């Protein structure tokens, strides 16, 4: 539950990352169901976005068109156009109706092999193209076990956000997603999440100043479910959630959305 003791004025932000799931029929149905089930809170009490696969973005945009649920993409390429076979630019995503784009998701870092420099270029390109990037950071299990969480998250933050002005930084959401918690059923405890979220806010303050740092939303991601969303959101520096598996079921996802405002 979002405790009454929580001091923040940051508006909660819940995003669903559908990853490489759904098809043309189920993506539309899922988007429509999220719209109807979250209508009373989406956009007013809490910002809500869904991120379908690229090929279903336009259908998703249609399904969301009369709602306050925003559309996001799962990745972007940093060039604006040209001979980059298979890639998608920020301008194309904007044209397809996207507001947000996920940059540097752990599956792109650790399965596809993206490094911090590439992720940084994507963040810049997203902002230049008028999108709001969600920059994902988070440590592997072996890094946590070796007490390297602070080092890894600090490096990903500094390199991922390099070259951004404070004004551009205002467009960014950070998602802390410990890799060992993604899709594994293992969730970070609210205390573990808060500890890293506080570190992230401190790093933001050092680079962009306290005012901007106080305004940036930091999501937690990694096996978020309806029954742990409330306790995670109760932490002072947990401003939202990036939800994978549970975002594929409209009732689970909207239960998470509602837990963020209750």
By annotation, the residues acting in catalysis are: 105, 177
Minimum distance, C-beta of residue 17 to ligand PGA, in the bound complex (Å) = 4
Among 28, 242, 255, 257, binds ligand PGA (CB under 6 A): 242
Long-range contacts of 56-62 (CB under 8 A, 24+ apart): 56/22, 56/23, 56/24, 56/27, 56/28, 57/93, 57/96, 57/97, 57/98, 58/96, 58/97, 59/24, 59/27, 59/28, 59/31, 60/27, 60/28, 60/31, 60/97, 61/96, 61/97, 61/98, 62/28
Spatial CA neighbour of 181 closest among 170, 173, 189, 172 = 189
Among 12, 17, 180, 196, binds ligand PGA (CB under 6 A): 17
Residues 166-225 that bind ligand PGA (CB under 6 A): 177, 182-183, 221-224
Interface with ligand PGA (CB under 6 A), residue from 63, 213, 243, 255: 243
**Contact status: 16 vs ligand PGA (CB under 6 A):** no
11/8 Cα distance (integer angstroms): 8
Task: Compare residues 131 and 182 and give the one whose CB is closer to ligand PGA.
Answer: 182
Cα-flanking dihedrals φ and ψ of residue 247, to 5°? -85, -5
CB of 82 to ligand PGA, least distance (A): 30
Considering only 160, 226, 230, 244, the residue that binds ligand PGA (CB under 6 A) is 244
Output the smallest distance, CB 72 to ligand PGA, in A.
Answer: 11
**Residue 22 Ramachandran class (φ > 0 left, ψ -120 to 50 alpha, else beta):** left
Residue showing the smallest CB distance to ligand PGA in the complex: 244
CB of 192 to ligand PGA, least distance (A): 15
Of 131, 217, 245, 257, the one binding ligand PGA (CB under 6 A) is 245
């Amino acid at each position: 539950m979002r405790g009454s003791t929580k001091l923040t004025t940051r508006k909660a932000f819940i995003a669903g990352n559908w990853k490489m799931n759904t098809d043309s029929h189920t993506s539309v149905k899922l988007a429509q169901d999220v719209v109807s089930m979250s209508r009373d809170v989406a956009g007013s009490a809490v910002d809500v976005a869904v991120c379908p696969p690229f090929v279903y973005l336009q259908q998703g945009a249609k399904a969301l068109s009369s709602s306050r649920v925003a559309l996001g993409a799962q990745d972007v390429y940093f060039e604006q156009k040209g001979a980059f076979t298979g890639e998608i630019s920020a301008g194309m995503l904007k044209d397809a109706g996207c507001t947000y784009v996920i940059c540097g998701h752990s599956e792109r870092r650790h399965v596809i092999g993206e490094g911090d420099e590439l992720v940084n270029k994507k963040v810049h390109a997203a902002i230049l193209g008028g999108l709001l990037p969600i920059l994902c950071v988070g440590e592997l299990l072996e890094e946590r076990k070796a007490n390297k969480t602070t080092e890894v998250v600090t490096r990903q933050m500094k390199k991922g956000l390099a070259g951004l002005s404070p004004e551009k930084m205002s467009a960014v959401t950070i998602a802390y997603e410990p890799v060992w918690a993604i899709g594994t059923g293992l969730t970070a405890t609210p205390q573990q999440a808060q500890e890293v979220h506080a570190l992230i806010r401190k790093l933001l303050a050092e680079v962009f100043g306290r005012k901007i740092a106080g305004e940036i939303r930091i999501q937690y991601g990694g096996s978020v479910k309806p029954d742990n969303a409330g306790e995670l959101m109760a932490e002072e520096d947990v401003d939202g959630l990036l939800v994978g598996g549970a975002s594929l079921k409209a009732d689970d996802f909207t239960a998470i959305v509602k837990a963020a405002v209750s």
